[in-house]
Amino acid sequence: MNDQVFLLPDLGEGLTEADILEWRVAVGDTVRIDQIIAEVETAKAAVEVPVPFEGTVIELHGAAGDTLRVGTPLVTIRGVDADTAGPSSGAPREPAGHEQYREEERAGSGNVLIGYGTGFDAPRRRRRVPITHRSPATPEVSEQPEAVKSTSIPVPPSAPRVISPLVRNLALREGIDLSTLTGTGPGGIIVRADVEIRADVESPPAPVPAAPAPGPGRFHLERIPLKGLRKTVADKLSTSRREIPDATTWVDVDATELLRARTAINHGLPPEDQVSLLALLARLTIAALSRYPELNASVDTARGEIIRHGQVNLGVAAQTPRGLVVPVIDHADTMTTVELARALRDTVETAREGKLPPARLTGGTFTLNNYGVFGVDGSTPIINHPEAAILGIGRILDRPWVTDGTVTVRKLTQVSLSFDHRVCDGGAAGGFLRLFADYLENPVAALGRL
């Protein structure tokens, strides 16, 4: 027998550990090369881990919920009997995939999870794709049978077709037996909506007392580990507050014409080209940054320099089931309004599905935060370190507004800008915010000049 220990691979993007979300195999299972054996959660994304050997699983080095560091054992695989000796050497042949894995491990980097290299030039992908460890003898993908080409997760016919651990956890909380559900996702996969619909049918909301009286038992002590994405967010925000001397300025804006402009732009456009309000806000943000480039910057404290970036990599704050993430649209300043709308729609949807690779969550130069979707009017957003500014948008609602001496009802919103006082003074920050507000109040004229 030949036992091989597969170590948790290099996760890339400076990540050094991961939490085990779910094992896809158990001790005694037979696995093939590139089969998904586990799903793990890093500080930035949920990723699938394929195994680079074939054989029988004899040990899982951790349980769901455990945190493992990169380079520590993940699973031990027992290869096939060493009964296939080479014709001349007399030495037993190593199980398929083992030699390549050892070479990658010795190289010090390994293949990075979800197919991304550790360098800044690594390609950006839109979907989560497990890495592939192919031995030299393995045929190219184009020559493999269809069953090998698929990246879908094999599910026994008798088991519920569930991929996402979020769906499993939701079903567990709602007390729903997954085997009783019919999946509506691709290939019959059970998705979140399937569970939520069943939960609504079986557990209609209970009537809420008109005035619940406070009393003992309504609260209980709970300790929640600060780990994964929550820890990353906490560390970044703490660094921002510790290092950046920030200030916030805000202004009320009449967004009536902005909503009309969006309706006019979308008239006659196919659904895939429809421009969202967020896309319009992003386009006008970029336009204002072109006049105030000092806000599209960062501070290099080690070298004592202010770096004004040569392009706008726009971060967009998005609330997801895993928490707050800020995916980045690279070179957003080179995109048309329609192209930007497509990129934002794809990026935000992928982020909410938990499928964004770590590379898509770094490298931003300026962040836009539409907190109005939570029904709030204003905020003092914390700068996304190491950026120098963040622009926030409140909800849009009807309010009285004085126009040409007459009080009328208009669509008003509040916009706020938190900025690093090291990169500019209040004059530049106020000038940017006022210009952005003017663009919102006269979007047709602003877009016509772009």
Determine phi and psi for 293, rounding to 5 degrees. Answer: -65, -15
When computed from its CA atoms, the radius of gyration of the chain, rounded to whole angstroms, is 26
CB neighbour list of residue 354: distance below 8 Å, 6 or more residues apart? 45, 46, 164, 166, 320, 321, 322
Asked whether the bond before 205 is cis by omega within 30 degrees of 0, the reply is: no
DSSP labels for 330-362? TTGGGS-HHHHHHHHHHHHHHHHTT---GGGGS
Q: What is the largest CA-CA distance in the chain?
A: 98
Cα separation, 277 vs 280, in Å, equals 5
Query: What DSSP character marks residue 410?
Result: E
Active site residue 421: yes
| Helix (H), strand (E) counts: the chain | 10, 19
Distances from the Cα of 135 to the Cα of 5, 71, 132, 296, angstroms: 17, 21, 10, 46
Cβ density class 317-341: b for 16+ within 10 Å, e for less: bbebebeebbbbbbebbebebbebb
Cα separation, 369 vs 317, in Å, equals 5
What is the CA 55 to chain-centroid distance, rounded? 33
Cα separation, 449 vs 409, in Å, equals 28
Place of tokens 């979007």: 443
Cα separation, 233 vs 368, in Å, equals 16
**Residues that are catalytic:** 421
